[in-house]
């Protein structure tokens, strides 16, 4: 807590304690009057002015004492609630406001008829206290319920629209993007996916909607990697910074660096936990290629977009009986087998393909094996399509270019 926050907290404490002292002091005078009336009726006595004054002072002092005792506790709770609301996304703030208004409306409808019937039968002070207590309970449950079901209610869309009106996105308006783009779920990027680099091409195609949020602790970790003494780590970090710059330059992407975090996020032990807590607070999804981070996030019901899973899903579907062309690049493990690769890196094992290493051949797919490390295709040799694509066993695809350059 910095100096400004410390002075704000003290001022908050003084204001709340003073308000409590006046409120409970006034409540003490009301209770004192009720007590005096009961005392005179019960004992058939008449109180003097001095006695009435002492009773009033006594109840007022009790009220002020309770105000001093409750002031610090109530200030801490209200300050914590205020910080929590401050760190909520704009849509959630609007949802809280709608919950309060809904709770007040419900409490008015629930209490209107009972208060009219009980008026005059119950003293005003207990009736007023009962109304305040019931109203507080109804407002609390209204806000709690609205926040729990906000994803399934149409009021969420209204809250998002109001939030966007309160905080419009200049970048979105100036570049003429779709209005719906602003209401898509936010995506939080981790360090690995930034270094990976494939996200730039995915975002460029327009398949990723919503803001791309990069917490400052992820950016800080990326900077540490870029400044590492290890050459490989330093190269990875610098590539990550270049990828981040490329993302920011895309016309169809909104990239936002986030610096403000709740105390719960700040207290997380490591970057992954900070990322998970941040995404959970923002109701955002995480884009990553880290399987461990994905498992932890999914245990906490946080949506995860894994680029590796996307790459696997985009591989072409090959069925047994189909024919395809492949270049035999090396011998297989079994006698007579040859091994080639499709453009997406899928391994193809060809029976009777070993004599045709270096050639492009036509094969018939016999089976497809999906393993934890990827997909493998097994096929049988049909015919030679093109010879000497690779110069002999162990040759190189670029031998012709090398030999030509040497002749020159």
Residues 192-231: pLDDT tens digits? 999 988 889 899 988 888 889 999 999 999 999 999 888 8
163 assigned to some structural domain: no
The answer to whether the pTM exceeds 0.75 is no
Q: How many domains is the chain partitioned into structurally?
A: 3
Last residue of a domain, one of 256, 283, 312: 312
Give residue 404's pLDDT. 44
Give residue 25's pLDDT. 75
166 assigned to some structural domain: no
The reply to whether 342 and 263 lie within a common domain is: no
> Within the chain, which residues score under 70 in pLDDT?
1-6, 9, 12, 78-79, 81-83, 85-92, 115-130, 146-184, 371-374, 391-408
Give residue 403's pLDDT. 44
Domain that holds residue 349: 323-404
The reply to whether 177 and 274 lie within a common domain is: yes
340 assigned to some structural domain: yes
> Do residues 390 and 338 lie in contact, with contact meaning Cβ atoms separated by under 8 Å?
no
First to last CA, the chain: 71
The reply to whether 246 and 361 lie within a common domain is: no
317 assigned to some structural domain: no
Give residue 127's pLDDT. 62
Give residue 129's pLDDT. 63
Give residue 393's pLDDT. 43
Give residue 148's pLDDT. 64
* C-alpha span between 29 and 262 (Å, rounded): 42
3 assigned to some structural domain: no
Give residue 304's pLDDT. 92
The reply to whether 75 and 192 lie within a common domain is: no
The reply to whether 138 and 19 lie within a common domain is: yes
């Amino acid at each position: 807590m910095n100096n400004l926050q410390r002075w704000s907290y003290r001022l908050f404490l003084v204001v709340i304690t003073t308000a409590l002292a006046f409120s409970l002091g006034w409540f003490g005078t009301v209770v004192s009057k009720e007590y005096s009336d009961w005392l005179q009726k019960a004992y058939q006595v008449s109180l003097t002015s001095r006695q009435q004054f002492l009773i009033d002072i006594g109840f007022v002092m009790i009220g002020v004492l309770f105000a001093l005792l409750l002031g610090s506790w109530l200030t801490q709770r209200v300050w914590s609630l205020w910080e929590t609301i401050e760190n909520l996304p704009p849509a959630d703030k609007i949802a809280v406001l709608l919950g309060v208004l809904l709770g007040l409306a419900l409490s008015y409808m629930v209490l209107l008829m009972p208060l009219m019937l009980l008026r005059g039968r119950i003293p005003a002070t207990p009736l007023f206290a009962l109304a305040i207590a019931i109203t507080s309970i109804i407002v609390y449950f209204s806000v709690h319920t609205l926040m729990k079901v906000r994803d399934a209610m149409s009021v969420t869309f209204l809250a998002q629209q109001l939030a966007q009106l309160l905080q419009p996105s200049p970048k979105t308006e100036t570049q003429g993007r779709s209005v719906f783009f602003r209401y898509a779920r936010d995506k939080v990027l981790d360090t690995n996916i930034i270094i990976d680099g494939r996200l730039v091409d995915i975002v460029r195609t327009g398949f990723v909607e919503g803001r791309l949020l990069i917490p400052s602790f992820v950016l800080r970790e990326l900077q540490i990697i870029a400044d590492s003494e290890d050459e490989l780590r330093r190269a990875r970090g610098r590539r990550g910074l270049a990828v981040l710059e490329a993302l920011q330059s895309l016309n169809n992407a909104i990239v936002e660096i986030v610096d403000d975090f709740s105390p719960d996020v700040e207290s997380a032990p490591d970057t992954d936990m900070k990322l998970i807590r941040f995404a959970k607070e923002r109701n955002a999804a995480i884009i990553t290629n880290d399987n461990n981070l994905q498992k932890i996030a999914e245990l906490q019901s946080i949506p995860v977009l894994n680029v590796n899973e996307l790459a696997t899903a985009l591989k072409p579907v090959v069925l047994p009986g189909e024919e395809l062309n492949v270049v035999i690049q090396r011998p297989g493990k079994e006698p007579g087998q040859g091994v080639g690769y499709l453009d997406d890196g899928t391994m193809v094992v060809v029976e009777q393909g070993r004599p045709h290493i270096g050639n492009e051949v036509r094969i018939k797919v016999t089976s497809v094996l999906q393993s934890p490390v990827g997909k493998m295709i097994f096929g049988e040799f049909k015919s030679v399509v093109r010879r000497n694509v690779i110069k002999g066993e162990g040759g190189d695809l670029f031998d012709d270019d090398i030999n030509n350059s040497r002749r020159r």
